[in-house]
Amino acid sequence: MRNRRFLLGFLLVSLLVAGVGSYYASSHPDGLSYVAGTTGFDDSADDSPAAVSPLADYSVAGVEDDRLGGGLAGVIGGVVVLVLSSGLFAVVRRRRTHR
């Protein structure tokens, strides 16, 4: 498979998972929060100072619809991760040296 086609396909799969698939994710507590609940240390959790973020808890402030808000938050988050990590890796990578 050609490079560009492969990379675009991989990106599309990731954004589909974050933007569409995530709506169907299980809403049960994950392993850690479940164990915190059953063994009794759940109450020691504090609210994150980032709870005021417009994307807190994978929703978009002002968007009422769960499917739309969650999907948007997933796509925005995915794009932010892509931009930050690609930028970082472009700086860190070995460059071809032309002499």
**Residue numbers at the binding site for other proteins (CB under 8 A):** 1, 3, 6-7, 10-11, 13-15, 17-18, 21-22, 25-32, 34-36, 38-41, 43-51, 53, 55-58, 73-74, 77-78, 80-82, 84-86, 88-90, 92-96
Q: HSE of 29 in the Cβ direction (CA atoms, 13 Å)?
A: 9
CB of 53 to other proteins, least distance (A): 6
Task: Output the CA torsion sign for 84, 88, 91, 96.
Answer: negative
Place of tokens 């709870």: 51
For 5, the 3-state DSSP assignment is helix
Q: Which is nearer to other proteins, 8 or 65 (CB)?
A: 8
CB of 75 to other proteins, least distance (A): 9
Q: Which is nearer to other proteins, 65 or 87 (CB)?
A: 87
Using CB atoms within 10 A of its CB, is residue 25 exposed (0-12), middle (13-18) or buried (19+)? exposed
